[in-house]
Amino acid sequence: MASTPRQSRPPTTTRREVLAAGLGSLLLPAVAAAQAAPKLPAKPTAPPTAKPTSRGDAMLTRPIPSTGEALPVIGLGTWQTFDVGNTPAERGPLAEVLRRFLASGARLIDSSPMYGRAEAVTGDVLETLGELKTPFLASKVWTTGKAEGLSQLRASIQKMGHGRMDLMQVHNLVDWRTQLPMLREWKAQGRIRYVGVTHYSRSAFDDLERFIREEKLDFVQLPYSLAQRDAEARLLPAAAEHGVAVLVMQPFATGSLFQRVRGRAVPEWAAEFDCTTWAQFFLKFILGHPAVHCPLPATSNPDHVADNLRAGFGRLPDEKQRARMARVLEG
C-alpha cells in the first residue's frame, strides 16, 4: 500500500523571522467584510463567476471546470497540524486558524484518514465555531477493498463534515480500481459533490497524467512548488486541457523553501504583484500558473494562516515575473 512519508513542519522560528511586521492589520478589511456577509450555501445552485476586484479587497477565485463553481484560491491542509488532542492549549490556536481562514473568504479544507485525528478535530472545531456549512470540505479514501472503503468514507463524512462532504479523493491512488468507482457512485447519488485522486510522489506522475486524461476527474491533487516544478511539464497542461481542477500539496516544499531564503529580504519588485512576505511569494508563484486552482498550506499558527491568506488577494505574477521569481532561488 502506498503511503505518504511523514513530512516535517516548516521550522517555526524560520517562518517567524521572515514574516513581515503588521500582517494582521492587512487582513482586517477582508475579515470584517467576510463576517458581515451571509453564509455560503453548502451546494450553491448558481455558482458565482470569479470576478476579483482591481483593488484586491476580495479573495481571488477560480472556477471548478466541471461545474463552474467559484473556488477561493487559498486552501488549508491539515497534515500533522490538526492531529492534536482535546486540550484548550492544543485546539485554541486551531480555532483561531479556522476563524481567520473562513473570515477571509477562503473555503477549502483538506484532510485524510491517514492524518490521525485531523478529520475529527477539524469537524469538532468547525462545529464549535458554528461553521459546519461554510467550508468546502475535502478528504480521502486510503484503504483497500470496497467494504473498508465504504466504512472509511462514512467515517470521514461524519467526523469531518458531520454528515456532508464536498470532495472525496483516492489517496495516493491506493486500490483506485475499487475506490474510484465507489466514489463515483456516491457522487451520482448526490452524497458527495466532487471526485478526485492524489499522489505525493514524482514517480507517480505518469499515472496521474493518465488519470487526468482518461478518468474524467473533477480534481487532482499533486505536489508543486518553486522548489519542485516537475508538474509544469505535463500534469498541469493535461489538467487544463481536460478540465480538471488542480489542488497543490507541499506548496512550501515541506518547509525547505523558508530555509533557502532565511536571512534574505523579499525582492522589492515583488510589490508589482502585491507581495510582501516569502510565504506570499511562494504561494503567488504557484497561483501564477493558470492551471492551478488552490494550494493547500498547512499550519496551526494563526499568524501564519493570515500571511498565507494574503497571497489570495491582489495581483498575481505573469509568466515573465514567474521566471524572475524562479531565478531568486537559483541565485
pLDDT in tens, 183-198: 999 999 999 999 999 9
Q: Is the pLDDT of residue 5 over 70?
A: no
pLDDT in the model for residue 14? 44
The answer to whether residues 119 and 158 touch, using CB atoms and an 8 Å cutoff, is no
Average pLDDT, integer, range 52-62: 71
Q: Is the pLDDT of residue 293 over 70?
A: yes
State the pLDDT confidence band at 327, using cuts at 50, 70 and 90: very high
Average pLDDT, integer, range 135-140: 98
**Interval 302-312: pLDDT, tens:** 999 999 999 99
pLDDT in the model for residue 330? 81
Alpha-carbon gap, residue 311 to 307, rounded angstroms = 7
pLDDT in the model for residue 126? 97
CA distances from 220 to 80, 87, 148, 180, 185 (A): 21, 35, 23, 13, 18
Cell of 33: 467584510
**Interval 122-132: pLDDT, tens:** 999 999 999 99
pLDDT in the model for residue 15? 56
| Lowest mean per-residue pLDDT among 17-31, 152-166, 282-296 | 17-31
Backbone angles phi, psi at 245, to 5 degrees: -70, 140
How big is the CA angle at 330 (ends 327 and 331), to the nearest 5 degrees? 85
CA distances from 215 to 111, 146, 209 (A): 23, 19, 10
- pTM of the complete model: 0.84
Q: Is the pLDDT of residue 41 over 50?
A: no
pLDDT in the model for residue 9? 37
Percent of the chain residues past pLDDT 90, beyond the cut: 82
Alpha-carbon gap, residue 120 to 9, rounded angstroms = 21
**CA atoms 31, 33, 37, 43: torsion sign:** negative
State the pLDDT confidence band at 205, using cuts at 50, 70 and 90: very high
What does the mean pLDDT of the chain come to? 86
Alpha-carbon gap, residue 268 to 70, rounded angstroms = 32
Q: Is the pLDDT of residue 56 over 80?
A: no
Percent of the chain residues past pLDDT 70, beyond the cut: 83
pLDDT in the model for residue 12? 38
